[in-house]
Amino acid sequence: MKRKLLFIINPKAGKKLGPTLLPLIEQKLKGKIDYEIAIWQNINEFNAISQKLFSENFTDAVAVGGDGTVNMVAKTILNKGLTLGIIPAGSGNGLARSLGLPMKTELALDKIIEGKTRVIDSGEVNNMPFFCTSGVGFDAHIGNLFATSVKRGLKSYVKIIWKEFSSYKPKTYKLKYNNVEIERTAFLITVGNAGQYGNDFYIAPGAVMNDGLFHVSILRPFKFYEVFGLLSKILRRKADTSKLIETFACSKLIIERQEKDVIHFDGEPAFEKETVVFEINPNGLSVIVGKNFK
């Protein structure tokens, strides 16, 4: 089938690619692959982009932006027979990294042109799709603060973490999965379809994106002096060997907490009720991958 690509560009993403990306796309694709460009300035414009995507016989939707942009494009084409491509331009780029895609724009575009695909699972949290990670606790709290931050990028993200780290109080949760019910006091609980948040921070290194399972990591409260050992294991993809982290796999997880609070899905925050339900949806999304995707 002849390919037709729609590049969906978020100009507000962490890396400003506009001046260099458009000439690069033309240089590499003109006369080889049919394509069009759609600039997504605000949420109200996305409906028109979505209609264009499905009414004009596009085969590939290429998200140009960060994890929020990727989530928006991916959930739009989920189970619709189109393929997701990514040119990473955000702060963490969790899904792009998990798919083995290069972080350099030109190399990522080469992978789009190459067009090697695989089919991956997706998750839902209270009926909201996610593709990389979701969860409750400190990471959701940080995601909420980062979403309202004027400054973007990894540096701003780290500043927010550093500011909030010492004052954040772990919370108690009830978890139901695999006919088991447990109660845990946790700093955070991450539900991973993929293994990382982004920036190669692997909180759930056992996660496989096409195994029909979530890999869940519960980080218990810890002392300040334990942080450095924990970070070392996360960066070396060995978080599941830490004595601070409890892990298990499941296809459905129910978390109950004492009050309405923030969650995150692919880094995007939302305030949800006391009960949070995570469910896996196997094999719903075709994605362009790099050579290191497993």
Residue by residue, pLDDT tens for the chain (294 residues) are 799 999 999 877 656 665 688 899 999 998 899 999 998 877 778 899 999 999 999 999 999 998 989 999 999 999 999 999 999 988 889 999 999 999 999 999 999 999 999 999 999 999 999 999 999 999 999 888 877 775 666 677 778 887 888 889 999 999 999 999 999 999 999 999 999 998 899 999 999 999 999 999 999 999 989 999 999 999 999 999 999 999 999 999 999 999 999 999 998 999 999 999 999 999 999 999 998 887
CATH number for the domain whose boundaries are 128-282: 2.60.200.40
The fourth-level CATH superfamily of domain 4-121 is: Probable inorganic polyphosphate/atp-NAD kinase; domain 1 (3.40.50.10330)
Question: In 3D, which of 52, 97, 61 has the Cα closest to residue 81?
Answer: 61
Task: Report the alpha-carbon distance of residue 159 to residue 207 in Å, rounded.
Answer: 28
Q: Residue 15's pLDDT is what?
A: 61
Give the angle subtended at the CA of 74 by the CAs of 70 and 78, to the nearest 5°.
170
| Domain locations along the chain | 4-121, 128-282
Task: Report the alpha-carbon distance of residue 93 to residue 239 in Å, rounded.
Answer: 20
Q: Residue 150's pLDDT is what?
A: 59
Q: Residue 156's pLDDT is what?
A: 74
Q: Residue 269's pLDDT is what?
A: 93
SS3 20: helix
| Range list of H helices, 148-207 | 154-165
Q: Residue 158's pLDDT is what?
A: 78
Strands 275-288 and 252-256, how do they pair?
antiparallel
| Range list of H helices, the chain | 18-29, 43-55, 67-77, 94-98, 105-114, 138-147, 154-165, 227-235
